[in-house]
Amino acid sequence: MNQPAAQQKNTRKRAASRKRPGIQPDDLRQLVGVSNPQISPDGRQIVFVRSHCEAEGGRVWKQLWLVSTDGGPPRQFTSGERDGSPRWSPDGTRIAFVRAEQKSAPQLMLISAAGGEAVQLTHLPAGAIGGFRWSPEGSRLAVAFRPTEEWQTEEAAAERKKNHQSTPPREIDDLYWRLDGDGEFGSARFELGLIDAATGEYSSLFQKDTCGRFSFDWAPDGTELVVSANTAADALLNPWKAQLYRVPVSGGRARQIKGPPTGVKSTVRWSPDGEWIAWAGRSGREVWGVQNMELWVCRPDGSDVRHLTGEEDYCLASTTISDSAEATFESRLMWSHDSRHILLNFGWYGETQLSSISIEPGSQVQFHTAGRQTVSYGNLADEGRLLAVTVDSMEHPPEIAVAQLPGGDLSKKKNQPAELTRLTSFNTPLVSEQRQTVPVEPFEVRSASGTAVHGWVLRPPGAAKSAKLPAILTIHGGPHAQYGEAFFHEFQTFAAAGYVVVLANPRGSKGYGESHCTAIRGSWGGADWEDMQAIIEWMQQQPGIDSGRMGVTGGSYGGYLTNWIIGHTDAFAAAITDRCVSNLVSMTGSSDLPLVPGSYWEGNSWDQAETLWEQSPLKYFGAVTTPTLVIHSEGDLRCAVEQSEQVFAALKLRGIPTRMVRYPRETSHGMSRMGPPDLRIHRLREYLSWFDRYL
């Protein structure tokens, strides 16, 4: 029975007054993930991916759900083990999605918008689907597909077992043969294909991209696609060689669009009126992504090139890292219905908001949302006013919402607000009723050179104001990413265990302008270390922090900086280095993305290794006295496990208290965010055990 409003309010007050425990490691199984929201063409409902962990074990289930934009409870729509990437047909009658069952190859499925059983559309061989887009008239789908090399298929393995044969040797001729999170694919590459929406028949259309990182979009008349691709033989080492191509769907020769400048190009989008092509890109020969990804447009013939965000200091690839949503470093842009504006979605000073810019020269970016939050969009309804989004904050995990964009010309009035309406509340019972989440407070310090360093602090719930508590400094990876206003289960867990948690965005982070990011290009352990010293000093001066019980941790580049810190100061009583970088000389050839000589860092690893070794934390391990836990995944292809093995061996040989926890080859670099829940929980318990022991 529904309670009267006044009674509901009193019930909530009584619940709030009762002391609730903070977030625990096992609460990971209670958290519900939402992603990939897609609004129907008529704007009436949103399909999205809902994910949840099984009660025990390591599986995560993903299904499609639907929710009405005018209210009403969300409902489950599909029942597969791993259903994702939903896309409405142009007429709104069908939804295509990818189904990836454990024992079969991923396939495209179709389901009626009215419900019923999903029907398998494709019968592709073993391989990977990188993304797909409906044609404007809905008769075809363009898809990025990469077949698995024959010897790697389950059928080939079964045949070898039957014949008592060994696994064959790998024959590798190209540096690009693996990618963290994507696996080891050898010489196989993604190609652009076409799928008949009635029969599922597949035909290859474009195979020139040598790294398979291309993006594509349909021309509004459906006769061709625009593709951003790198066809150079050395594409992995030279991402700036990307070009734009027009590819006719009838077969025929792909034509390069001449006019756009040399540089990285991604997220290509054709305007609804057919008059413009937009993309995110960087001009010049920059390799590592420290420069801003900016917005460009041109005519389909390559003329009238416009650098729309060239006068502003935003990076369209600024990504906020959290453990409640999968991190993507792809730029996000989308045309407005009238083809006069482009909607954008990027991180800035820790927030991620909805914004737009007019294609008219001299226009400025306009922000349509504000506040301490992360807003990520999916797509627009046909009328161009309703936008499917996810919204989360540091105190509440992501939920599905709908944004109503301001009417009229978005550029006439500065920063016209969009109206956000939350449509789901999957995580509200956990974070508002069962557990007590910790408020997160922003702060700012100045480093020795006067640089402003933005950070946040979480204080344990219920702690006395006079108490001096142990503290944990956590450092993000990238390094060219940012912490921000997004939910972090891990940080809430640390705070609930009694620790003050401090996080910050030192130089090298995205979201604070290009100079803030480029300050550490080829110079790790310089400006970033200066900024972290200011954060450490701030922690030591806080009345609520016991400066003798401070710990430091970080993953990936955060692991690098953790290693660097313990080699340069004894301010910390304990450290945890996770999926770290320790030796830039050996990392040159052990990473899935080899370090290009003379590009980001000076020199190379064979006869000019001085700069790489000078910036390697391992060089300074003779000074380490901090007890250190070492964590790594054996399946990490970005920062190979040998990086942590060197840390563990050096500390053991020197008699420094240390322990190493290795997660299996089935996990990857992003295990702490998107790995099996049982292993993620195990990892958090290892963290708490180590810090409890030494802090």
Q: How far is CA 329 from CA 101, 230, 409, 529, 680, in A?
A: 26, 18, 30, 24, 22
Q: Which of 396, 454, 632, 669 is catalytic?
A: 669
From 331, 363, 556, 672, active-site residue:
556
Give residue 321's identity as a one-letter amino acid code: I
Read off the tokens for 329: 């470093």
568 an active-site residue?
no
Pairwise CA distance, residues 370 & 355, whole Å: 10
Phi, psi torsion values for 379, nearest 5 degrees: -150, 170
Residue entry with tokens 């001449």: 258
DSSP 673: H
Helix axes 677-694, 489-496, angle to 10 degrees: 40
φ and ψ of 172, to 5 deg: -115, 125
Burial class (CB in 10 A: 0-12, 13-18, 19+), 7: exposed
Q: 37's torsion region: left (phi>0), alpha (psi -120 to 50) or beta? A: beta
Which tokens in the block code for residue 688?
Answer: 């708490």
Told to judge if 356 belongs to the known catalytic residues of this protein, a careful annotator would answer: no
Q: Say how far apart CA 34 and CA 65 lie, in whole Å.
A: 9
Q: Rounded to an integer, what distance in angstroms lies between the CA atom of residue 436 and that of residue 554?
A: 25
CA distance 302 to 324: 40
How many residues in total does the chain contain? Answer: 695
Separation of alpha carbons 476 and 558, rounded Å: 5
Nearest to 675 by CA among 13, 83, 60: 60
Burial (CB count within 10 angstroms: exposed 0-12, middle 13-18, buried 19+), residue 607: exposed
Answer for the pair 51, 32: CB distance below 8 angstroms, yes or no: yes
Token pair belonging to 464: 């006395």
Token pair listed for 241: 């060689």
* C-alpha closest to that of 294 among 276, 312, 269, 277: 312
**Residue matched to tokens 């702060």:** 443
**Residue where the block lists tokens 């700069």:** 611
Judge whether 454 and 505 are in contact, CB under 8 Å. yes
Instruction: Give dist(CA 554, CA 582) in Å, integer.
Output: 13
The residues assigned a catalytic role are 556, 669
